[in-house]
């Protein structure tokens, strides 16, 4: 092992000791862990890749017994055992399910299924996964009408997800869910403002710490007059004006309620029409953060935590974060959550974005078990970047490099989302 | 030599032992090898780079004696001896022409010219180059009216090139070539369908294994009605509708004849008006695979082998291949065929695209001699990626890494293009 | 230290011995060095990053005593001590101000301030900085009405900056400055041509060696008729036509006066409206060099030295330089001037752009002191690329690699800008 490899390893071990704040996930706090192997291999990364190499969609239907579905996914897994997504599952199998092979596939189906049955039903399983993943707090993605009850909001931090409000308010189901949640039948901009105000009150009362949304590549936020928004609320065809108006109103509420706004920029929904559930979305690299200039200018008091789907925008994100006090970088999202892209994107952020303005990573996980392998992957890349560009190149000590990492893995999230009771600005205290 | 360098070398040597399938070239099967040094240095990579550093275009005219042209190109070669294109020629000179220097230039003109005369006229030269390049099958780029006779289609695999049909059907010469080849004077969509059907029959009868086309950055395939296409066939000004209609019809024939469709996306023709032959084309990085979403959705049974000219689209290609079952990655094309870009693009593909859905490389060569240096360059990069991201990072054995490479260099092409008599889907057998 | 690290170091030391030509800066030749610490920390890189992490803009106002401003910037500096911009200042403090710590911050304010007062007032300071930076000639950025007197034009090479003429000719102040400088009240295209002719005569008489401009991402040069330009000169609303017409005219003068034209492509001005001075500009990655195809075609005799702000265009720049004889690459500009981006961009240029067509780097500095740390950063990356891709990969000697670097750091600039009295074409002599 070379000196450099040893240094990388030393850093990797040191980083693993930092308790994590995971600022974005899709965990259901009422069922945070997997109940069966199906809950792991039903993750869209596996179903969509299996479909991509030939798995018929109907194998995933509820009529098929879960164990049979799992067996089919495992069979196809062998065709993408080169991918990093595969390694997440392998890591879970080895870490949590007692698997000791180096490749996993169809022949392991029975053993893994049985191990999962046993392990996942342990009464202390949730606590065990949290402990072994070294994660302290995990942000949720809550529908606007989520009651937010029945779980520990200090562990599972609520976050108001607003895609439905911005993009689907023309749908009767969304309108009636909104009426149900707020007691207000929205007919115009004024009613909408009252309704959304109630949602924010509800969320903040239940310790929500962020508002979040995913946005298509061409979305460009602009203010909309109350009259125009009222008109768009009555006319289903005015989806663009309605989306802009609702979005802008949400930014105003983020300002008033002092909530950071997570912008997840760049996804086109339903591109592959015949894709599996959650495996239909892609992107268009022709997008720019310049589309958000008006927003960033208009809300200097709102912290925008920006995730990009398109790594080709990585330099833009670096530059916009460097210039705008209210913009911070946030994680490595979805199709950009691959070591090759993370390394390129992370190196630039570490070299040119203030260390206090980087939310290093989030798991995006649906089940707690995925936090461990995904963060492990990220920390490996982070350790390499720190080793090369800071310890070797600049002569930093390992301890100094670890302190930098601690900001990315924990302390920036605590400050930016006011988890430690501070002001929630991007400013460091003191 | 470090342990890592030794590992890279071990891999590189092992990869060189894999017999190649070269799925895209411009080889003329009736004259596959160079006849003189002029055939090598007349390759557009050298004429355009020489012109770029000062070579006057008229030096390349047929009136100038070939050896004088070669001398001038060699003189200018010294000004771009840093480029990887230069190293291809140096590799050829050393491997095939007995050259033993480390730099090649004007002073070597006579010696190289004479060596080429001698070597290239050997009766077994074609077999010798094929053997030393370790290439088993090479795909051609055939005009639609190519008779496809006089050569071994098991060695040189026909491929129907369709640029003329899609983009130049308004030209009388193209129409008359089509009439000549099919016996059909195309007047409307119906006639065109009959004519193209005949072309596909002819090509498939002669063992064609793919249909191919190069496309400009803004092209976006959409279905066109028969009436609209008929109208566009009569009106030279309706080039956009005509191109879309013909293209869509070709995709239908690919489906019906079970031929993969090679899409080479992103070239603008004739950008540098005063450029040398084949040295005028460039690109516009503002393009997206989302332009192909309708096509990929409409033809689930056609395998689209996608090459991109713009490395900035590399993450898109990874994501679209990961999601769409009928999309596979194909090689590293033209301006992206540089180690710096190959390494970035390849790392991401290896980490996130199923291993069965990657056509690793093609030579794009006009003469067989270029297969050796171009594949050598690619394998060096591939060996490095495998060493770092699979052997070191994941603990794979060298043998496992070589098996992954074998898919990229050989087995995927055999399966996808049905060279082994299998079904031609992207699915792995059994 | 590994063999590779030793090789990098050996190269780095050898490169430092090459006397530099710095082909783009904002140095004021009448006050080329810093006068106080404020001149260093007032550099927009520090004020904008400090503002980005919380520094209030009013701390930067002229009413605040400079030392207090400096103290506040230093205090905020600690929040971006991970950035490469921070390392430039640290390098200066250590090299020029006797600082011997490894981190610099608020507690060092007094000591640094006093050291700066002492050092910067030395009578030989300018000569000392130039000597220690090993820089021979530095290009300026001169307003069109600069008298160009009072300094040594062999050391500080004038360069006609033309942004005002192209984008602000509707402003009365610009018109009156032009009238003042040329004695011509511009009323139409004819008058403008006479006026600009006088500017070129003035600049060339004072040894100017380039014309330069920065351009927004959507700018696309096209020829404009005299009538259309005359009309646009009278109508403030026709800014697009006016900009295109004036720009095209400048290119004609570059041709006639044999001046290379520096194109700095991609900046949007004033994106962050509340930003600090010079800290408001950003970019839109959706741009392409195809927008310049007509220009490059129309002026084969003008050398265009192209800088791009968006690294996402890096492959385009490589390809356009490879194809167009009159295009050369120029440096690593602004938001792309970060080791992570430089390394990616530089590797590709070294591998695919003729060595005679690369202007390696420029400082963009406002004060001479920044030339040293910025070039040091660049040379580190250059040494790494040369070590890996040329010495190790291709077996070049260190001396050969240094000769390649000498072209990038010095000789290409001398030839392209005719600093050595040669023809100024991109052709190598002999």
Q: Say yes or no: B4 contacts chain A, CB-CB below 8 A.
A: yes
Residue to test with chain B: of A4, A104, A315, A340, most B Cβ within 10 A: A340
What's the gap between Cα B245 and its chain centre?
Answer: 25
pLDDT digits (tens, 9 = 90+) for A72-84: 999 999 999 999 9
| Closest CB from C286, C322, C348 relative to B52 | C322
CA pair distance C83, A390, nearest whole angstrom: 10
User: Does B423 have pLDDT greater than 70?
Assistant: no
Q: Do C82 and A428 touch (CB under 8 A)?
A: no
The pLDDT, as a whole number, for residue C427 is: 42
- Which chain B positions have a beta carbon within 8 Å of C4's beta carbon? 2
pLDDT digits (tens, 9 = 90+) for A65-114: 999 999 999 999 999 999 999 999 999 999 999 999 999 999 999 999 99
Q: Do C351 and B2 touch (CB under 8 A)?
A: no
Give whole-number Cα distances, A103 to A75, A78, B395, in Å. 12, 8, 11
Give whole-number Cα distances, B40 to B74, B92, B119, B367, in Å. 11, 9, 13, 8
- Which chain C positions have a beta carbon within 8 Å of B5's beta carbon? 392
DSSP one-letter code for A368: G
* B321-324, long-range: CB < 8 A, 24+ apart: B321/A52, B321/B349, B321/B353, B321/B354, B321/B357, B321/B358, B322/A48, B322/A49, B322/A52, B322/A335, B322/B352, B322/B353, B322/B354, B323/A48, B323/A52, B323/A271, B323/A272, B323/A275, B323/A279, B323/A280, B323/A282, B324/A52, B324/A272, B324/B296
Which ranges in C97-238 belong to alpha helices (H)?
109-120, 125-133, 163-167, 172-182, 189-205, 226-234
Give whole-number Cα distances, C111 to B381, C67, C99, C101, in Å. 51, 12, 9, 12
Between A and C, how many CB-CB pairs are < 8 A?
A: 115
Residue from B162, C376, C50 nearest A323 by CA? C50
| Closest CB from C54, C84, C272 relative to A324 | C272
| Closest CB from C82, C274, C285 relative to A350 | C82
pLDDT digits (tens, 9 = 90+) for B205-256: 999 999 999 999 999 999 999 999 999 999 999 999 999 999 999 999 999 9
Q: Do C338 and A322 touch (CB under 8 A)?
A: no
User: Does C428 have pLDDT greater than 50?
Assistant: no
Residue to test with chain A: of B311, B352, B386, B406, most A Cβ within 10 A: B352
Q: Say yes or no: B394 contacts chain A, CB-CB below 8 A.
A: yes
- Å from B124 to nearest chain A CA? 41
The pLDDT, as a whole number, for residue C421 is: 65
Q: Say yes or no: B339 contacts chain C, CB-CB below 8 A.
A: yes
Q: Say yes or no: C49 contacts chain A, CB-CB below 8 A.
A: yes
- Which chain A positions have a beta carbon within 8 Å of B340's beta carbon? none
User: Does B426 have pLDDT greater than 70?
Assistant: no
Residue to test with chain A: of C340, C374, C376, most A Cβ within 10 A: C340
Mean pLDDT value across residues C204-229: 98
- Per the confidence metrics, is the pTM higher than 0.90? yes
> What does the domain layout of chain C look like in residue ranges?
36-120, 134-416
Residue to test with chain B: of C1, C336, C354, C399, most B Cβ within 10 A: C354
Q: Band of the pLDDT at C358, cuts 50, 70, 90?
A: very high
Angle between helices C125-133 and C371-386 (to 10 degrees): 10
Q: b/e for A117-137, b at 16 or more Cβ within 10 A?
A: eebbeeeebbeebbeebebbb
- Å from C372 to nearest chain B CA? 27
Q: Say yes or no: C204 contacts chain B, CB-CB below 8 A.
A: no
- Å from A221 to nearest chain C CA? 15
pLDDT digits (tens, 9 = 90+) for C368-412: 999 999 999 999 999 999 999 999 999 999 999 999 999 999 999
How is residue A106 written in tokens? 């169809």
Residue-by-residue DSSP string for A102-171 = SS--GGGHHHHHHHHHHHHT-TTHHHHHHHHHTEEEEE--B-TT----SS-TTTEE-EEE-HHHHH-TTS
- Give burial (CB, 10 Å; 0-12/13-18/19+) of B199: buried
Q: Do C335 and A355 touch (CB under 8 A)?
A: no
- Vertex B68 angle, CA B66 and B70, to 5°: 70
Mean pLDDT value across residues A226-243: 96
Q: Say yes or no: A394 contacts chain B, CB-CB below 8 A.
A: no
| Closest CB from C2, C286, C357 relative to B2 | C2
Residue from B276, B393, B411 nearest B4 by CA? B393
- Which chain B positions have a beta carbon within 8 Å of C316's beta carbon? 282-285, 310
Mean pLDDT of chain A: 96
CA pair distance A17, A43, nearest whole angstrom: 27
Residue from B224, A231, B86 nearest C356 by CA? B86
User: Does C424 have pLDDT greater than 90?
Assistant: no
CA pair distance C129, A226, nearest whole angstrom: 60
The pLDDT, as a whole number, for residue C1 is: 78
Phi, psi of A35 (to 5 degrees): -100, -25
The pLDDT, as a whole number, for residue A420 is: 76
pLDDT digits (tens, 9 = 90+) for B77-107: 999 999 999 999 999 999 999 999 999 999 9
The pLDDT, as a whole number, for residue C283 is: 97
Classify domain B36-120 at the CATH class level. mainly alpha
- Say if CB A314 and CB A306 are below 8 A apart: no
Regarding predicted confidence, which is higher, B206 or A427? B206
Q: Say yes or no: A7 contacts chain C, CB-CB below 8 A.
A: no
CB atoms within 10 A of CB C170: 17
Q: Band of the pLDDT at A1, cuts 50, 70, 90?
A: confident
User: Does B430 have pLDDT greater than 90?
Assistant: no
Phi, psi of A68 (to 5 degrees): -70, -40
The pLDDT, as a whole number, for residue C425 is: 43
The pLDDT, as a whole number, for residue A427 is: 42
Q: Band of the pLDDT at A426, cuts 50, 70, 90?
A: very low
pLDDT digits (tens, 9 = 90+) for B283-340: 999 999 999 999 999 999 999 999 999 999 999 999 999 999 999 999 999 999 999 9
What is the C-alpha end-to-end distance of chain C, expressed in Å? 43
Residue from A271, A273, A289, A291 nearest A281 by CA? A271
Mean pLDDT value across residues C48-55: 98
Q: Which residue of A has its CA nearest to C277?
A: A323
- Say if CB C334 and CB C364 are below 8 A apart: yes
User: Does B422 have pLDDT greater than 70?
Assistant: no
The pLDDT, as a whole number, for residue B1 is: 78
| CATH topology for the A136-416 domain | TIM Barrel (3.20.20)
Give B 343-382 residues with CB within 8 A of chain A: 344, 347-348, 350-357
What's the gap between Cα A337 and its chain centre?
Answer: 10
Q: Say yes or no: C149 contacts chain A, CB-CB below 8 A.
A: no
- Which chain C positions have a beta carbon within 8 Å of A392's beta carbon? 5
Give A 280-319 residues with CB within 8 A of chain C: 286-290, 293, 296-297, 300, 312-313, 315-316, 318-319
Residue from B418, B53, A285 nearest C326 by CA? B53
Mean pLDDT value across residues A60-65: 95
- Which chain B positions have a beta carbon within 8 Å of A336's beta carbon? 315
Residue to test with chain C: of B269, B273, B285, B310, most C Cβ within 10 A: B285
Q: Do A380 and B393 touch (CB under 8 A)?
A: yes
CA pair distance B156, B27, nearest whole angstrom: 8
How is residue C406 written in tokens? 């000498």
Mean pLDDT value across residues C187-212: 98
CA pair distance B104, A394, nearest whole angstrom: 40
User: Does A304 have pLDDT greater than 80?
Assistant: yes
Q: Band of the pLDDT at A11, cuts 50, 70, 90?
A: very high
Angle between helices C339-352 and B339-352 (to 10 degrees): 120
Which ranges in A183-308 belong to alpha helices (H)?
189-205, 226-234, 239-257, 293-298
Residue to test with chain B: of A2, A12, A82, most B Cβ within 10 A: A82
The pLDDT, as a whole number, for residue B421 is: 65
| Closest CB from C286, C394, C425 relative to B286 | C286
User: Does A373 have pLDDT greater than 90?
Assistant: yes
| Residue carrying the six token digits 């021979």 | C136
Strand partners, C262: C212, C305
Give whole-number Cα distances, A148 to A30, A35, A156, A202, in Å. 10, 22, 10, 9
pLDDT digits (tens, 9 = 90+) for A115-155: 999 999 999 999 999 999 999 999 999 999 999 999 999 99
Give whole-number Cα distances, A365 to A84, B13, C207, in Å. 15, 41, 63
Hey, which chains touch B, using 3+ CB pairs under 8 Å? A, C
Q: Do B84 and C325 touch (CB under 8 A)?
A: no
Q: Say yes or no: B321 contacts chain A, CB-CB below 8 A.
A: yes
Phi, psi of C360 (to 5 degrees): -60, -50
3-state secondary structure of B139: strand
- Vertex A92 angle, CA A86 and A96, to 5°: 160
Mean pLDDT value across residues C208-221: 98
What is the C-alpha end-to-end distance of chain B, expressed in Å? 43
- Which chain C positions have a beta carbon within 8 Å of A354's beta carbon? 49, 52-53, 79-80, 82-83
Residue from A199, A187, A189 nearest A145 by CA? A199
| Residue carrying the six token digits 């239940």 | A206
| Closest CB from A347, A355, A427 relative to C54 | A427
3-state secondary structure of B135: strand
Hey, which chains touch A, using 3+ CB pairs under 8 Å? B, C
- The pairing of strands C20-22 and C135-139 is parallel
**CATH number for the domain whose boundaries are C134-416:** 3.20.20.140
Phi, psi of B302 (to 5 degrees): -100, 130
Q: Judge if ipTM > 0.90.
A: yes
- Å from B346 to nearest chain A CA? 9
- Give burial (CB, 10 Å; 0-12/13-18/19+) of A93: buried
Mean pLDDT value across residues C9-31: 98
pLDDT digits (tens, 9 = 90+) for B356-403: 999 999 999 999 999 999 999 999 999 999 999 999 999 999 999 999
Q: Do A351 and C82 touch (CB under 8 A)?
A: yes
CA pair distance A46, A30, nearest whole angstrom: 23
Which ranges in A58-108 belong to alpha helices (H)?
66-77, 84-96
CA pair distance C328, C5, nearest whole angstrom: 31
Q: Do C341 and A315 touch (CB under 8 A)?
A: yes
């Amino acid at each position: 092992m070379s000196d450099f490899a040893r240094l990388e390893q030393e850093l990797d071990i040191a980083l693993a000791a930092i308790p994590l704040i995971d600022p974005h996930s899709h965990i259901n706090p009422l069922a945070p862990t997997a109940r069966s192997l199906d809950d792991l291999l039903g993750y869209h990364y596996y179903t969509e890749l299996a479909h991509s190499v030939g798995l018929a969609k109907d194998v995933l239907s509820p009529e098929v017994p879960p164990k049979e579905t799992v067996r089919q996914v495992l069979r196809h897994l062998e065709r993408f055992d080169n991918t990093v997504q595969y390694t997440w599952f392998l890591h879970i199998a080895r870490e949590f399910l007692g698997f000791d092979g180096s490749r996993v596939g169809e022949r392991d189906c029975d053993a893994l299924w049985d191990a999962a049955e046993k392990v996942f039903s342990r009464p202390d399983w949730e606590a065990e996964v949290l402990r072994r993943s070294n994660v302290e707090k995990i942000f949720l993605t809550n529908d606007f009408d989520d009651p937010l009850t029945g779980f520990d909001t200090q562990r599972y931090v609520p976050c108001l997800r607003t895609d439905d409000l911005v993009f689907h308010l023309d749908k009767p189901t969304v309108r009636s869910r909104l009426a149900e949640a707020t007691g207000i039948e929205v007919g115009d901009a004024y009613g909408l403002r009252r309704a959304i105000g109630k949602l924010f009150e509800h969320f903040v009362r239940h310790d929500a710490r962020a508002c979040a949304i995913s946005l298509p590549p061409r979305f460009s936020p602009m203010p909309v007059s109350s009259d125009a928004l009222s008109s768009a609320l009555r006319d289903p065809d005015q989806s663009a004006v309605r989306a802009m108006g609702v979005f802008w109103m949400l930014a105003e509420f983020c300002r008033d309620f002092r909530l950071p706004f997570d912008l997840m920029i760049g996804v086109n929904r339903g591109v592959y029409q015949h894709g599996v559930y959650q495996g239909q979305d892609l992107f268009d690299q022709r997008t720019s953060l310049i589309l958000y200039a008006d927003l960033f200018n208009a809300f200097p008091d709102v912290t925008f935590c920006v995730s990009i789907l398109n790594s080709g925008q990585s330099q833009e994100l670096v530059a916009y974060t460097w210039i705008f006090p209210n913009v911070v970088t946030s994680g490595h999202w979805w199709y950009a959550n691959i070591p090759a892209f993370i390394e390129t994107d992370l190196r630039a952020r570490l070299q040119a974005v203030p260390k206090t303005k980087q939310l290093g990573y989030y798991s995006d996980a649906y089940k707690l078990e995925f936090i461990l392998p995904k963060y492990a992957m990220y920390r490996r890349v982070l350790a390499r970047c720190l080793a090369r560009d800071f310890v070797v190149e600049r002569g930093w000590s390992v301890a100094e490099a670890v302190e930098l990492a601690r900001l990315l893995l924990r302390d920036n999230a605590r400050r930016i989302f006011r988890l430690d009771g501070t002001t929630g600005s991007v400013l460091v205290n003191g």
